[in-house]
Structure 1
Amino acid sequence: MRTAIVVGAGIVGLSTAWHLQERGYEVTVVDGKGVAAGSSWGNAGWLTPGKAIPLAHPSLWLSGPQGLLDPDAALHVPLRFDLNLWSFFARFMAHANNRSWDKTMAGLTPIDKIALEHFDEMVDGGVDSWTREGPFVIGFEEEKQAVGFKHEIAGVVRHGQEVPFERLSDPSELAPVLSERVKSVYRLDGQRFLEPGPFTHALGDAVAARGAKMKFGHNVSAVLQGRQPAVLLKNGEQLRADKLVLATGAWLPKLARQFGVRTRVQAGRGYSFSVATEKPQNYPVYLPHARLACTPYQGRFRIAGTMEFRRPDEPLQPRRIQAIVKQASQLFTGVDLSDRKDEWVGSRPVTPDGLPLVGATRAENIFVAGGHGMWGFVLGPATGKLLAEKIDTGRTNPAIAPFDPLR
């Protein structure tokens, strides 16, 4: 029996484990905390390949300086002496131009196009969860705020995706939570959403039910290369397998750098919480100007937002929650922002060029899967399938060729 160890029990790691099992591998999943303990739990749950686009955009040259000065800005970089952080930010901003945006978008488009079908494959294959069609409601306080969003959608379409997008004459039926300040409203179709934590747990249950060993509660202290690579846990236990996958999100450099993965990965931290609403909100809502991404969640309304470049293990910053509350209080109605539950911060793994890191390292039989930025959930199942193919056959599917972790 061929064996594999997957380090990381988020959507990317578990998807890789599931597809390795499909190919006949006996899998062990290792995580210091457990299933969905990181970004796979509290994100907005958007399955939006039409919005899986480069984060570095020319418009950041206007909004970026605000993020350095205003701790409440949607994009925030704390003013502190941190050479790694500023080195990343300089490289990130170097990609904030039209040429780099198009190059990255060209790299993302092939996997964007196949992303949704891989959720169907998992659900049909025994993952006891669901995904739902939109529409997504996109709102602006005034029409001129929509210019940048329309430009992004046009760029996605130019690269080959179909992204239906039209203005709504009466948005109240689709989005009763929007206040009168939101005057220009559109619907975005062809996308889906889910409840990210429950879906990831259902995937973890399916992987375990197929016979995977789930080793939770012990962090990895070292990775040892060799014909059969190994992980050394902090409790002193050593695990060996034929193949090893590192899928540790924003913590990926800690384990992967020694194997030639030099691309920086920075924690782009997002925040979320859920609230009660007077009227049911059945569809996702996005307010691009305020950077608020919202989704129905277990009978409530999850509000997520911000991009904060900090170290991944730093504590939740209450001020960032209050900044979201301030924006939401003006743009939503019938929403009880005092009844906040599940306040959360998660560290999304961002690369300077906006492309994930998926494939083989310089060490024999050691692979990585990460660096998806805000799009780890929507791209996770497709990443897992294509990486499992690479591990099993040695062939690199063209859809992940731009994600070479040794670039």
Structure 2
Amino acid sequence: MTSVHPSPAHVCVLGAGIVGLATAWELLQAGAQVTVVDRGPPGEGTSSANGAQLSYAYVQPLADPAIWAQLPRLLLARDSPLSLRLRFDPWQWAWGLRFLAACRGRVSRRTTVRLLQLAAESRAAFDAFRQGTGSDCDFSATGKLVLYTGDTAFAHAREQLALQQSLGVQQSAVTPGECAAIEPALAHYAPRISGAIYTPGECAIDCHALAQRLAALLRERGVHFITGQAVTRLQLHGGRVSGARLADGNVQTADAFVLALGTGTPALLRPLGLAVAWQVPVYPLKGYSITVPAGDGRAASPRVNVTDAARKVVFARLGQHLRIAGMAELAGEDWSIDPVRIASLQAAARDIFPQGGRYDQLTPWAGLRPATPLGEPVIGPIAGAPGNLCLNTGHGALGLTLAFGSARRVARLLTRARPASAAASAACSA
């Protein structure tokens, strides 16, 4: 079903994380006037210290059949990389049940295909941005190794590898010795590895620096920013969003609105009705990171991106620093930093890369990933919602990776011109 709306001259993007900023950029390139609204400065929320990996080829969703065998430990062990802190919250329970329902092979394969398609779009859009603007932000393209320390897990990874290779992804299974050859800093750890999946084309970038660069470029090009103002509700008139009411009582008007508020998105949708909110099952998946000064020497701190699959911890080199990130807690809107989780990241880093960084000089961080049960973001309009409202949320741990691809899709939806006499209109696919 396709609904047709006037091509918006003015679009208001609600959210100034990496997804919202990329959306503003792509809308600007498409000729729209853009306003960005957020309760905080650009890039200061979940985008500020994430895992930093641009995982274009390795996009396996968290909802996977292998979860079932791991479930008791994942949910009950104190040091588990995935934990559930039960709350009196029906949205948490609903999310968890939908997540378990998605842990099926057929569903995981379908989601993988869709994520790979979006990741390819995102890579093309981000490369165009980076080359066109000369933005560096500690970008590197050194590839990625996903390490497996158990034969069963590695066998399952090779099955996922076969699926992704069939879709055109350049990846290979490598031996422990090959791991050490690709990344010398893994030499001492290689005997404990069953094998790894190597993707030579994967990249990394400092997400916070990228967000700051984007915000500066947007301002230079006339984009208006309203920061320090939370959006309290959407105002409706005639079946459309007429404005976004801010905490100070002012109302920001526009022709169209994009909701890119991450975990804050559902709260604005619930007043529109349960049927609308149910289509956007976004819930906070809390993650942690530490950033340390990188160790010296070729075999000390990794240059290649590394993921420890068992501990769900990622390592990315950002200039003279090493970012270590991971964990997934289903704990609601809790931004506190658990010292046990930080210690766990520190221990994992010392175990795999003992000389990788000055771990006594770490900077801790926690953020809330806006996750859907499937692991696939919600992009575009949704049934029953106002016609001039587009969603761009639910990217989970792939927000940085998918930001520019999902932004380009939203920009196409909102600004795509129709031919001839209808040139001033745009189609928005429902």
Question: TM-score w.r.t. structure 2 length?
Answer: 0.86
Q: 1:101–1:138: structure 2 CA closer, same or farther, 3 Å change rule? A: closer
Shift of 1:106: 3.0
Aligned to 1:112: 119
Superposed CA RMSD in Å reads 2.2
SS in 2 for 1:269: strand
In 2: Cα distance, 1:348 partner to 1:173 partner: 34
Check if 1:126 corresponds to 2:133. yes
In 1: Cα distance, 2:109 partner to 2:390 partner: 27
For 1:237, the aligned partner's letter is N
Shift of 1:116: 1.0
Matched-pair contact (CA < 8 Å) for 1:177–1:333: no
Equivalences for residues 206-217 of structure 1 within 5 A: 206-217=217-228
Q: 1:378–1:234: structure 2 CA closer, same or farther, 3 Å change rule? A: same
In 2: Cα distance, 1:161 partner to 1:309 partner: 34
SS in 2 for 1:51: coil
Equivalences for residues 133-148 of structure 1 within 5 A: 133-141=141-149, 143-148=151-156
For 1:381, the aligned partner's letter is F
Matched-pair contact (CA < 8 Å) for 1:283–1:295: yes
For 2:286, the aligned partner's letter is R
Aligned to 1:240: 253
In 1: Cα distance, 2:366 partner to 2:71 partner: 21
In 2: Cα distance, 1:208 partner to 1:173 partner: 45
Q: 1:352–1:228: structure 2 CA closer, same or farther, 3 Å change rule? A: closer
Shift of 1:352: 1.4
Deviates more, 1:311-320 or 1:372-381: 311-320
In 2: Cα distance, 1:176 partner to 1:157 partner: 26
Aligned to 1:375: 398
Check if 1:296 corresponds to 2:317. yes
Shift of 1:216: 0.7
SS in 1 for 2:122: helix
Shift of 1:328: 2.7
Shift of 1:56: 0.3
Aligned to 2:414: 391
Aligned to 1:53: 60
Matched-pair contact (CA < 8 Å) for 1:273–1:340: no
Aligned to 1:189: 200
Match of 1:277 among 295, 318, 334: 295
In 2: Cα distance, 1:375 partner to 1:170 partner: 27
Deviates more, 1:299-308 or 1:330-339: 330-339
Aligned to 1:38: 45
For 1:73, the aligned partner's letter is S
Aligned to 1:311: 332
Check if 1:164 corresponds to 2:187. no
Aligned to 2:215: 204
In 1: Cα distance, 2:97 partner to 2:361 partner: 36
Aligned to 2:69: 62
Shift of 1:50: 1.3
For 2:162, the aligned partner's letter is A
Percent identity over the alignment is: 26
SS in 2 for 1:229: strand
Aligned to 2:4: none
Match of 1:154 among 162, 166, 188: 162
Paired residue total: 397
SS in 2 for 1:35: coil
For 2:159, the aligned partner's letter is H
Structure 2 unmatched runs, 5+: 1-7, 417-425
In 2: Cα distance, 1:317 partner to 1:272 partner: 11
In 2: Cα distance, 1:356 partner to 1:239 partner: 26
SS in 1 for 2:398: helix
Matched-pair contact (CA < 8 Å) for 2:86–2:331: no
SS in 2 for 1:290: coil
Shift of 1:250: 1.5
Shift of 1:384: 0.6
SS in 2 for 1:207: helix
Give a deviation string over 1:354-388, Cα, whole Å, max 9, x none. 22111114213111100111111111101111101
In 2: Cα distance, 1:140 partner to 1:228 partner: 48
Give a deviation string over 1:231-250, Cα, whole Å, max 9, x none. 11111221101111110111
Matched-pair contact (CA < 8 Å) for 2:286–2:330: yes
The structure with more radius of gyration: 2
Aligned to 2:3: none
Question: TM-score w.r.t. structure 1 length?
Answer: 0.90
Matched-pair contact (CA < 8 Å) for 1:66–1:73: yes
Structure 1 unmatched runs, 5+: none
Check if 1:350 corresponds to 2:374. no
Match of 2:100 among 93, 98, 116: 93
